[in-house]
Amino acid sequence: MRAGTRRRLQIAGRIAALGALIGACYSLVLQLAVYHQPLRGVLIGGIHGFLVGAAVGSLEIFGTRTRLGRAVEQAPFLVTLTVKIVIYGSVIALVNIVEPGTRLVGLPLGAGAVQAVGLIFSFAAAAIVLFVFQISQIIGGRTLQNWVLGRYHRPREEARFFLFVDLAGSTGLAERLGPVGVHRFLNQVFLLASDPIDDHRGEIYQYVGDEMVVTWTEAQGRPGARPLGCFFGIERALRAASSGFERDFGAVPRVRGAVHAGRVIAGEVGGSKRDIVFHGDVLNTASRLEQIAREGDHGLVVSAAALERCVGTERYALEDLGARALRGRAETVTVYAVKPRGAAGAPAH
């Protein structure tokens, strides 16, 4: 099973478990008030919540990957939210009307008023969860979590990897496709890149023009040299979609990348619009390394500092580009060009 599929199944499982927990808590209160059978109430609510959570989780994680699902996701926020509430609400209504958990434990089916209360509660809970989920997709799940927990309310120092991914030939593409066409092209590239980024546990820090910046804490990025695997995963995803790009845009995307690692300061900034940002020489250095990738026509360049922090780099062929002087830095940086072993043109050592 692919790592991405396994990760999505895990997320769907967590949603089903959360649904079971919410359903059990709600049904416990309801059964105490109406039937005075709390243990059976927990079982009934758990079954109903699990069924609703499993259906919603499966549709949210796997349904959005279909053509129709992508169209819903790319609609205006309120349209997306409304469509999902209607679809998921139908699932909720079916479970509340049929009451499979109640039938399973052998209790009498709920009265109309009890079913109505359960239906209203289920709709409200689903709407809240969906709203939070949609917001997390806009600003990023980890960013939302960090805001809620106040993790970066005070500046803190962290050791992080940063991967800069740049689209090659974007200037000529913009001239040929025009502003709207190049926006559609970039959006498709970024959409295809999101799965490899998620599969390698990366966090999209920002989009800047034709460039995206992905980050990991040192602990998250170290196993399996995830920043390196992420870049080549993006390359594979774009290569697999090349025929569609050729058909729709008359061009196939090609990306370059640079990876650097080190200590940065992370914290919240801003007033009317707040954001979590990273400050430090690491980002400047990664940006300068990307210039080396561009000038030398390398797919991916990685600093020695980043490679030293990675585990599992033996899967990649490294070409020593030597110590490079970077603009704005007094000290040189040792740089390597990286390719998967066995790739065409990869060095043997």
Distances (CA, A) of 294 to 164, 210, 228, 269, 318: 12, 14, 17, 32, 17
Give the model confidence (pLDDT) of 85-107 as tens digits: 788 878 877 887 788 877 787 76
Instruction: Report pLDDT for 344.
Output: 47
Low-confidence stretches of the chain (pLDDT < 50) are 344-349
Instruction: Report pLDDT for 265.
Output: 93
CB 19 within 8 A of CB 56: yes
* Domain boundaries, given as residue ranges, for the chain: 3-139, 144-340
CB 256 within 8 A of CB 286: no
Instruction: Report pLDDT for 305.
Output: 94
Instruction: Report pLDDT for 345.
Output: 47
CATH class of 144-340: alpha beta
Please state, as a whole number, how many other Cβ atoms lie within 10 Å of the Cβ of residue 347. Answer: 11
Instruction: Report pLDDT for 347.
Output: 47
Instruction: Report pLDDT for 97.
Output: 77
